[in-house]
Amino acid sequence: MIDPVPSLRHTIADDLRAQITAGTLKAGARLASEPQLAADYKVSTPTLRNALALLQAEGLIEKIHGKGNFVRVPLRRLTYADGRLTPDADLHITIRTTNLRARGGLIPLLKVPSGTPLTEFLYLTHQGELPHSMARIYVPQNLAAAELPQHRSSVAKSRDQVSARLPTSEEASTLRISSTLAVLSITRVSTDTTGRVVEAALLAVPSDRAELLFTTHHATDEKGQEG
């Protein structure tokens, strides 16, 4: 029912995975070269590389062309709650601001006419030295553009649309992840009491370094409305 014939690459991947989780291969350490590992396991190099590809997809190793294969330093799995990352000591955020005009998918998202002046905030979050996640936040310029989005207090309602997908090649290189590691993609639209869109945020978080948390309160004094 599970896997009746453990293939060579799975056997090798299992062995290396055990060494990583046991600490025999420590975080940041470089694995032996691929031809060397292939000789050790008595397989061809493509087979050895297939085994490494499995570990890469799990986020356990990082391949660096010309240098070697390295055990990934595990990032703490942070929690996104209420649209914000859990505060963390060695978390730092870089923000780049750009002015642009509404086009394409931004128009229905922000419910503005084409060409409306917008401000884009590009958030790059790092945990220590390593990239953690990235976000693009769009704000109409007529809504206190000088103010950073996270500081505005006029938000009455937020709508988070969550999906998982493979990273774009830009995201894969910026976040230094394999193109086979899924990212959680969150589109968050915040509106004020009048229903006007105050900001739209597009987040991309590698699936191995964050979980999302949503809390819903139900009106229980009006029984039966759930069914």
Partner DNA sequence: GAGTGGTCTAGACCACGAG
Partner DNA sequence: TCGTGGTCTAGACCACTCA
User: Do residues 150 and 139 make contact, with C-beta atoms less than 8 angstroms apart?
Assistant: no
CA gap 31, 35 in Å, rounded: 11
Stretch that binds DNA, among 36-44, 104-112, 159-167, 187-195 (CB under 7 A): 36-44
Give the pair of three-digit tokens for residue 126.
């790092």
Give the whole-angstrom CA distance, residue 137 versus residue 150.
10
Q: How far is the CB of 102 from a second copy (least distance, A)?
A: 23
Could you tell me if residue 66 is left (phi over 0), alpha (psi between -120 and 50 degrees) or otherwise beta? left
What's the DSSP call for residue 131?
A: E
Which residue, 5 or 113, has its beta carbon nearer to a second copy? 5
31 binds DNA (CB under 7 A): yes
End-to-end Cα distance, the chain: 38
Residues that bind a second copy (CB under 8 A): 1-3, 46, 57-58, 82-83, 150-166, 169-170, 173, 180, 182-184, 192-193, 207, 210-218, 220, 223-227
Query: Does the footprint of DNA cover residue 47 (CB under 7 A)?
Result: yes
Count of positions on this chain that bind DNA (CB under 7 A): 25
Which one of DNA, a second copy, none is in contact with 65 (Cβ closer than 5 to 8 A by kind)?
Answer: DNA
Q: Rounded to 10 degrees, what is the CA torsion of 86, 169, 200, 165?
A: -70
Question: Is residue 5 close enough to count as binding DNA by CB under 7 A?
Answer: yes
Query: Which stretches of the chain bind DNA, using CB under 7 A?
Result: 4-5, 7-9, 31, 33-36, 42-47, 49-50, 63-69
